[in-house]
Amino acid sequence: MRMCLGCGEMKPKKELIRAVKSPDGEISLDLTGKKSGRGAYVCPNAECLRLARKAKRFEKSFECRISDEVYDTMERELNERQ
């Protein structure tokens, strides 16, 4: 079970999308679940991503500042997946 950073619900890992901060500091969505690095989870809908972005939960989890371009790219990838 993992917690969504947007809505805060506990869900099975397979139902969530993993965002990952790679060892070189790049942040992206990990749609395969196999990338190495620090992970954080969000429901597969844009609303939960927006809630997590607004509350800066990804920034707290990854302990770094995340640019708007990274968030926009993550939201675009999430919307394409649906």
**N-to-C CA span, the chain:** 22
The CATH number given to whatever domain includes residue 25 is 3.30.1230.10
41: Cβ–Cβ under 8 A, 6 or more apart, which residues?
2, 3, 4, 5, 13, 16, 17, 18, 19
Write out the residue range of the structural domain in which residue 22 sits: 2-81
Domain count, the chain: 1
pLDDT given at position 81:
82
Name the pTM for this structure. 0.92
pLDDT given at position 7:
97
pLDDT given at position 76:
95
Distance CA 65, CA 20 (A): 14
pLDDT given at position 32:
87
pLDDT tens for the chain, 82 residues long, are 999 999 999 999 999 999 999 999 999 999 888 899 999 999 999 999 999 999 999 999 999 999 999 999 999 999 998 7
